[in-house]
Amino acid sequence: MSTEPLPSVPAPSDFIRDIVAGHVAEKRYAKIVTRFPPEPNGYLHIGHAKSICLNFGLARENNGQCNLRFDDTNPVKEDLEYVESITADVQWLIAGWAEHCLAFKPKGAHPALITSNGQPDYYLGPVAPTALTTEPFFASDYFDQLYEYALTLIRKGQAYVCDLTPEDTEKYRGAPDHPGKDSPFRNRSVAENLDLFQRMKAGEFPNGARSLRSKIDMTSPNMWLRDPLLYRIRHVPHHHAGDKWCIYPLYDYAHCLSDYLEGVTHSVCTLEFVDHRALYDWVLTSLDLPRTLPHQYEFAKLTPGYTLVSKRKLLTLVNEKVVAGWDDPRLPTLSGLRRRGIPASALRRFVTSVGVTKFDSLTDIAVFEHAVRDELNQVALRRLAVLQPIKLILTNLAADEMIECDATNNPQSETPTTRRVALTREVFIEADDFAEVPPPKFFRLKPGGEVRLKYACIIKCDELVKDAAGRITEIRCTADLTTRAGGANVARKVKGTLHWVSAATCFDAEVRLYDRLFTVPEPAAEEDFLKVINPHSLTVVTAKLEASLAEANASERYQFERLGYFSLETKTAEPGRLIFNRTISLKDTWAK
């Protein structure tokens, strides 16, 4: 498949790239290191694509690296299924573009204790490029080091074991508009804290009985500085770390340190973490770490119209069987988009085109559709297919006559190639392309009218054959063979050109037509998003396809002329029975 989009895309520019460029100019870091840190508790979606392209783009444009790291600190919500799908989706999205920046680590590797700037320091060190013996990074691989760091914090008097119940912890925290108050356990001795924390780790206490808390400021106007929890007790096995642990670190504690361990320089996340940045910095600076610290930068996440980007809501759609699974082609999941036939390059172009800012916006889905059409227009093979067939007889052709016509495979190609399509007495055209009583400016086929059958010749509609109910069963026309390519009257112009297939050589195949899943631009703002589902998001038809499509292959993209872009469905197709998914329709300015 194609890799780089044909026209060279100008290097994107945004406030984060500007910050990094400044750091590069002043040589602040030896190498720019970013990371994409999903929690393996759901499938990646189009919103993640923006983050992936930003993080990998930063690495790519600065000869740096980007780590795929699973933020797997909450085993009760996570699953191996998700680490596998996420890994595959990331690799698909960056293939041919930034795969050389994707850093994996040797399988099973953990950070080792080394000496940095004369101080003991855990550091994962330079990572190997992707190979058979490598794997993504996992925050859970740092649990030992994180535990050691927690001990350090306790010894420095900056963390304590708290016996408050979850409910009381919440009460003591106060609210945004009034301060919290100190936990009665806040001033335990270092020795007692050390003892209790070690016993937490040893499994002596039940879930929720105690927690390890940072000692910051219960009156801070920033809620995240009111002694946030560092560790909680969870007697559950972990999908990656096994059953070694019954205490698990929380995001704010694990994330900054994971960044540090991996040598991340720029930790880019979305706007809801702005308030957490103070905590990110507090953990890192409290530990007196010897190496350069990572910094967090925030941008607005992507919210495309007419769809949903929330793992929780997407999960609901899957569980409620509104869609057929995480990779349903109607979903904005990366696996759904891929199955639908969206090229990764189009996705990259789209997320790049919307920019990176700190403004919460609703992105017009038309921008996405434009990127997809633009990309597909370059690469798609043109084919003839009829979705809603109606029979048309060329009365001046003999029943066994077969006229070979040259059809262009891709007019966008610099050196277009052709294939043969057969014109026969009996053909199918699109039912929409004929109107007995045409609306104004209708330049398709009508009684007495003329159109060109693409790649063939001009035909004239002579008469209609109807059934008892008055429905048209057959359109009878005369073909003017002198208007064929090479004929005396090729140059003759008619207003309309139709796609068609020969009834003698075409074959039937299932075609799945997808439309937007929701009827409103912002389903997430709805009280109940299940009530604004588009009932027509999937239409299945049996189409008539030109013979050459029998050799269609899954890596190719097709344009069924005048209809849209299609690709082969691989997941649910049975051998010998082709199914096509419509990726997207062609733009239609003839709005009825």
CB nearer to RNA: pick between 66 and 302: 302
Shortest Å distance, C-beta 50 to RNA: 11
Taking the complex as a whole, the smallest distance from the CB of residue 571 to RNA amounts, in Å, to 27
In angstroms, give the least distance from the CB of 15 to RNA. 6
Smaller CB separation from RNA, 197 or 455: 455
Amino acid making up residue 448: G
Spatial strand order of the sheet with 579-585 comes to 381-383, 558-560, 564-568, 579-585, 507-514, 538-545, 385-386
Q: Return the number of the residue (162 or 328) whose C-beta is nearest RNA.
A: 162
CA dist 108 and 290 (Å) reads 25
**Residue closer to RNA, measured from CB, 370 or 391:** 370
Q: How far apart are CA 65 and CA 31, in angstroms?
A: 8
Closest separation in Å from C-beta 120 to RNA:
27
Instruction: Catalogue the E-assigned strands of 90-246.
Output: 102-103, 105-106, 112-116, 119-123, 134-135, 137-138, 159-162, 211-214, 229-233
CB of 485 to RNA, least distance (A): 4
Minimal distance in Å, beta carbon 251 to RNA? 3
In the complex with RNA, which residue's Cβ is closer, 107 or 587?
587
Among 514, 519, 532, 45, residue whose Cα is nearest residue 306: 519
Q: How many other C-beta atoms can be found within 10 angstroms of the C-beta atom of residue 376?
A: 24
The C-alpha atoms of residue 282 and residue 276 are separated, in whole angstroms, by 10
Instruction: Select from 274, 261, 278, 271 the least CA-distant residue to 214.
Output: 278
CB 141 within 8 A of CB 153: no
Cβ-based nearer residue to RNA, 121 or 376: 376
Closest CB 177 distance from RNA, rounded Å:
4
Q: Name the nearest CA neighbour of 130 among 65, 82, 35.
A: 65
- Rounded to a whole number of angstroms, the minimum distance from the CB of residue 227 to RNA is 10
Q: How far is the CB of 542 from RNA (least distance, A)?
A: 21
Q: Which amino acid is at 103?
A: A
Q: Name the token pair of 101.
A: 């920046």
Cβ proximity to RNA: between 77 and 244 the closer is: 77
Q: List CB contacts of 324: < 8 A, sequence separation 6 or more.
A: none
Query: Shortest gap between Cβ of 504 and RNA (angstroms)?
Result: 20
Q: Edge-to-edge, what's the strand order for the sheet holding 472-480?
A: 497-498, 450-453, 458-466, 472-480, 389-394, 426-430, 500-502
- Give me the amino acid identity at 245: W
Asked if 237 and 75 touch (Cβ cutoff 8 Å), the reply is yes
502, burial (CB in 10 Å: exposed 0-12, middle 13-18, buried 19+): buried
Which tokens is 153 given? 């914090």
Rank residues 152 and 585 by Cβ distance to RNA and give the closer one.
Answer: 585
User: Is the CB of 110 or the CB of 173 nearer to RNA?
Assistant: 173
559 DSSP β-pair partners: 382, 565
Separation of CA 122 from chain center: 34
